[in-house]
């Protein structure tokens, strides 16, 4: 057994019920024959949504809703516990005790009628704390030497509640104290994703979908051989499978391509996942937990040579903000002032395009848009247009073929484009259009640029960029 472990991360639907957990155990058993493993799990499917909803009910003082919700969560988790292990007594007692703590926390929030981001993190973290115990018990019931680890003892983060960032040095040190000794005994650590704690031990989360990121952080800390993201689709698909029916798996992606796709809406990968992998050059592989065959998508530093475009991605329901300088030409310092306002309201910008007197940007998070627009209005004219979508074609091939970008834009002639952008990386062509036509535009682009699903070679030629 080699010393570099493989990280296996299983998402919500891959631990959603007893049947899914049974498949997980079979994957882990098979992989264990070959190498050392660290298993990272999400909460059972939909549990994080439910926990955050309960936090909101609690903040509104709705005791009835929180009692009913906590009861449902207990029923669901204990039911799965009974199905995955013949001797569920100890596990059920642990789950009941954890959920008792959740009830107390929700009750306190209901009394105060206030759920700060810090409290919401403490509530959201219960999903992964419960699922990691259940999965460890399921592995043990199948004879695997699994050990459940509390993620708050492993992942050290800063104090940005709701979207905490890892402190890599501190995390590497705690990984040495917690995960490595378990691996040294040839056992399998099972740890929840998404959840961490500050240096002083306050619970944090990495933000929605953050279990992929946890897996990559642990992978980097352990110099893993590979970081595997096990999910409910066959890999990174050529387009969002919820929008386009005829998608197929992209067998190979570069780190840069995968980052762009994740950033622009390919939900299968959390956008920050690639960062820790790049830092240690660790391959990332996306695999379908429902299958026992298939190579999924392999993501490495190299770029597939013979694939012009890697895939399409789409971010729906974004808002375009047009900001026009009230002077005739953009005064010196105008852009800086504009970006400072977005910074102050902690509202990230995705796409930018500028003209002589105006700048257009897209934002995903519109929660502070009203205040933000008011402030911009003190020195510019502001127009806000909701219900737009970003459509993005990604591929390292765009750097090699100068005609490709114009072919993409040309093929979108029938769709009114609100913004067009190609960043310096020249790895993507991004357009912004009405959300109502985004799906049709994606289907159309997919038909043109990915016409022969079955013809895509499995073993593409590779080149380092
Ligand atoms: P998990 O719970 O395993 O983390 P997610 O729901 O976060 O799974 O991500 C998987 C989903 O991402 C898929 O079911 C699919 O609907 C969506 N998705 C969006 N774009 C893509 C894409 N290009 N390739 C694969 N899946 C995608
Ligand atoms: N359970 C968390 C979420 O639903 C993290 C994850 O699944 O990646 O956002
Ligand atoms: Mg996910």
Q: What is the pLDDT of residues 239-253, one digit of tens each?
A: 999 999 999 999 999
How far, in Å, from the CA of 41 to the mean position of ligand 1? 16
Kindly provide the residue ranges of all beta strands, DSSP E only, lying in 42-103, ordered along the sequence.
none
Question: DSSP 3-state assignment of 21?
Answer: helix
Whole-number Å distance, alpha carbon 270 to ligand 2 midpoint, is 10
> CB neighbours of 332 closer than 8 A, spacing ≥ 6?
none
Residue 459 has pLDDT above 70, yes or no: no
State mean pLDDT over 417-430.
90
Nearest CA to ligand 1 atom 1: 11
| Higher-confidence position of 305 and 255 | 255
Q: What is the pLDDT of residue 452?
A: 66
Q: Average pLDDT, stretch 388-401?
A: 94
**Ligand 1 pocket, residue 171 CB under 6 Å:** no
pLDDT attached to residue 325 = 86
| 225-239 mean pLDDT | 97
**Mean pLDDT calculated for residue range 123-152:** 98
pLDDT for 388: 98
Q: What is the mean pLDDT of residues 131-154?
A: 98
42 lines ligand 2 (CB under 6 A): yes
User: Please, what is the average pLDDT of the chain?
Assistant: 93
- Span 324-346, average pLDDT: 85
DSSP annotation string for 323-361: EEESSSSPPTTHHHHHHHHHHHTT--EEEEEE-SSEEEE
Are the beta carbons of 199 and 165 closer than 8 angstroms?
no
pLDDT at 326 over 80: no
Residue 425 confidence (pLDDT): 80
Q: Band the pLDDT of 458: cuts 50, 70, 90.
A: very low
Ligand with smallest separation from the Cα of 48:
2
| Predicted local distance difference test score (pLDDT) of residue 355 | 82
181 vs 465: which has the higher pLDDT = 181
Ligand 2 site, residue 271, Cβ cutoff 6 A: no
| 111 vs 446: CA distance, rounded Å | 52
Task: For ligand 1, say whether the CB of 209 is within 6 Å of any of its atoms.
Answer: yes
**What confidence score (pLDDT) does residue 279 get?**
94
In the reported structure, the alpha carbon of residue 227 is separated from the centroid of ligand 1 by a whole-number distance in angstroms of 17
In short, whether 85's Cβ falls inside 6 Å of ligand 2 is no
Query: What is the Å distance from ligand 1's center to 118 Cα?
Result: 28
Task: Give the model's confidence band at 451: pLDDT under 50 very low, under 70 low, under 90 confident, else very high.
Answer: confident
Residue 293 carries which DSSP code? Answer: S
Cα 427 to averaged position of ligand 1 atoms, centre (Å): 21
| Residue 201 confidence (pLDDT) above 80 | yes
Mean pLDDT of 185-210: 98
What integer pLDDT is reported at residue 306 of this predicted model?
A: 74
33 CB contacts (<8 Å, ≥6 apart)?
A: none
Strand partners for 146: 188
Closest atom of ligand 2 to 209 CA is 8
- Ligand 1: does its nearest atom lie under 6 Å from the Cβ of 44? no
Taking the CA atoms of residue 378, residue 383, residue 388 and residue 393 in that order, the dihedral angle to the nearest 10 degrees is: -70
Query: What's the pLDDT score for residue 321?
Result: 97
Q: Is 295 in the pocket of ligand 1 (CB under 6 A)?
A: no
Q: Is the pLDDT of residue 317 over 70?
A: yes
- Of 51, 125, 211, the residue with max ligand 2 atoms within 8 A of its CB, to mutate for a pocket test, comes to 211
pLDDT at 328: 57
Full-model pTM: 0.94
> Rounded to 5, what percent of the chain is helix, strand, coil?
45, 25, 35
Question: 457 falls in which pLDDT band (50, 70, 90)?
Answer: very low
pLDDT score of 460 more than 80: no
* pLDDT computed for residue 454 by the predictor: 45
Residue 462 pLDDT class (50, 70, 90 cuts) = very low
Q: In the predicted model, is pLDDT for residue 455 greater than 80?
A: no
Report pLDDT for 330: 63
Ligand 2 close to Cβ of residue 48 (< 6 A): yes
User: What pLDDT score does 453 carry?
Assistant: 54
């Amino acid at each position: 057994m080699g010393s570099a472990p493989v990280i296996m991360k299983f998402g919500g639907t891959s631990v959603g019920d007893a049947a899914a957990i049974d498949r997980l155990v079979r994957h882990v058993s098979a992989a264990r024959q070959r190498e050392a493993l660290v298993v990272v799990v999400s909460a059972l499917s939909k549990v994080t949504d439910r926990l955050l909803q309960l936090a909101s009910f609690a903040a509104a003082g709705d005791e009835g809703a929180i009692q009913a919700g906590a009861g449902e969560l207990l029923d669901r988790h204990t039911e799965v516990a009974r199905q995955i292990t013949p001797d569920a007594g100890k596990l059920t007692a642990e789950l009941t005790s954890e959920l008792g703590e959740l009830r107390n926390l929700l009750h306190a929030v209901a009394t105060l009628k206030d759920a700060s981001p810090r409290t919401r993190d403490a509530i959201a973290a219960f999903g992964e704390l419960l699922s990691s115990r259940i999965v460890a018990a399921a592995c043990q019931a199948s004879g695997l030497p699994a050990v459940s680890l509390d993620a708050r003892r492993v992942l050290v983060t800063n104090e940005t509640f709701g979207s905490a960032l890892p402190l890599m040095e501190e995390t590497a040190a705690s990984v040495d104290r917690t995960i490595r000794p378990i691996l040294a005994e040839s056992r399998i650590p099972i740890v929840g994703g998404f959840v961490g704690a500050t240096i002083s031990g306050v619970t944090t989360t990495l933000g929605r979908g953050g279990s992929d990121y946890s897996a990559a952080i642990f992978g980097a800390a352990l110099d893993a051989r590979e970081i595997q993201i096990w999910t409910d689709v066959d890999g990174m698909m050529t387009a969002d499978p919820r929008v386009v029916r005829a998608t197929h798996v992209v067998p190979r992606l570069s780190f840069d391509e995968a980052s762009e796709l994740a950033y622009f809406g390919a939900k299968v990968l959390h956008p920050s996942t690639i960062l820790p992998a790049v830092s240690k050059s660790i391959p990332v592989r996306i695999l379908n937990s429902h299958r026992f065959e298939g190579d999924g998508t392999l993501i490495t530093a190299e770029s597939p040579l013979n694939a012009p475009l890697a895939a399409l991605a789409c971010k729906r329901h974004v808002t375009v903000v047009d900001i026009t300088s009230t002077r005739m030409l953009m005064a010196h310092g105008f852009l800086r002032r504009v970006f400072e306002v977005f910074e102050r309201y902690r509202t990230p910008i995705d796409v930018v395009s500028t003209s002589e007197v105006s700048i257009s940007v897209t934002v995903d998070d519109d929660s502070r848009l009203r205040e933000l627009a008011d402030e911009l209005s003190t020195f510019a004219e502001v127009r806000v247009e909701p219900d737009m979508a970003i459509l993005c074609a990604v591929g390292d091939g765009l750097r090699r073929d100068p005609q490709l970008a114009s072919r993409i834009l040309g093929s979108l002639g029938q769709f009114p484009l609100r913004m067009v952008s190609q960043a310096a990386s020249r790895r993507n062509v991004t357009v912004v259009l009405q959300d109502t036509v985004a799906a049709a535009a994606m289907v159309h682009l997919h038909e043109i640029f990915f016409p022969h699903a079955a013809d895509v070679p499995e073993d593409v030629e590779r080149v380092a960029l």
